Amino acid sequence: MFRLTTVFVIAASMMFVSRVASRGRSFPIEITGTIISFNRPNQMFTIQVDEPARVLTIAVGRDCKFKRHGAPAGEEILTSGARARVRYFATIFTGNIAVEIESSPVPEVKTGVLEKVDRASRKLTIRLMDHSGLVMRWAVNAHFVRRGRKSSSANLRENAPVRVSYYSPAFGAKYAVRIELGQEFYAPSNCRTSNSAAMKILLPQTPAR
């Protein structure tokens, strides 16, 4: 009786693990980063991931799809220094296997006003022009630009106009890779903020005729 019970428990456990594993494989993990190297004979590449910052080694799957600007491409896109979006599966048995690799992914861009800056967690809260809110972290390797020049997170100021370029991975958190401050873009004139100066239209003035 004890032996039958033990067999039943083991069988039930294996079925549970199998179901969990199959659910985990239902959707690939999505990352964006910079290719470090590609071992063509072994079909393995190393990528510096933007967020969270880490280095991964991923194998090119047998049926992996390559894309460049939305069109089919080949493994030639896996060059050192190239930007790429990778969708892959990860298991303890096979490791990381890429199923789709996209070259030079284009980030989304939004303009608004900084409502809150949390430097400890690298988190931004932005009020957009349509009055909606946008919360995201900035990547460790994010680029900061202020008036056309290289800057840093030290220049982030609440109630200041901002333009963010960011990625929004499937089933993942948004993160910024480029943050522009003091550029010639505009913030909504009726956005809720205590700094009226930040609400002015920041477009180039049209010369009087």
Which of 183, 180, 173, 177 has its CA nearest to residue 203? 183
Each residue of 137-180: pLDDT tens digit? 999 999 999 988 999 999 999 999 999 999 999 888 999 999 99
Integer Cα distance of 170 and 104 in angstroms: 17
Question: Domain boundaries in the chain?
Answer: 27-103, 108-198
Can you tell me the mean pLDDT for 182-192? 50
Q: Which residues share a beta bridge with 58?
A: 45
Q: What is the DSSP letter of 198?
A: G
Higher pLDDT, 132 or 22: 132
Grade residue 33 by pLDDT with cuts at 50, 70 and 90: very high
Grade residue 14 by pLDDT with cuts at 50, 70 and 90: very low
User: Helix, strand, or coil here: 106?
Assistant: coil
Which of 94, 19, 93, 97 has its CA nearest to residue 56? 97
Buried b (16+ CB within 10 A) or exposed e, 65-104: ebbbeeeebeeebbeeebbbbbbbbeeeeeebbbbbbbbe
Each residue of 34-72: pLDDT tens digit? 999 999 999 999 999 999 999 999 999 999 999 999 899
Beta strands in the chain (DSSP E): 29-39, 44-49, 54-68, 71-72, 83-91, 95-103, 108-118, 123-128, 133-146, 149-150, 161-167, 175-181
Do the domains at 27-103 and 108-198 have one common CATH topology? yes
Integer Cα distance of 167 and 174 in angstroms: 6
Class of domain 27-103: mainly beta
CATH superfamily of 108-198: Copper binding periplasmic protein CusF (2.40.50.320)
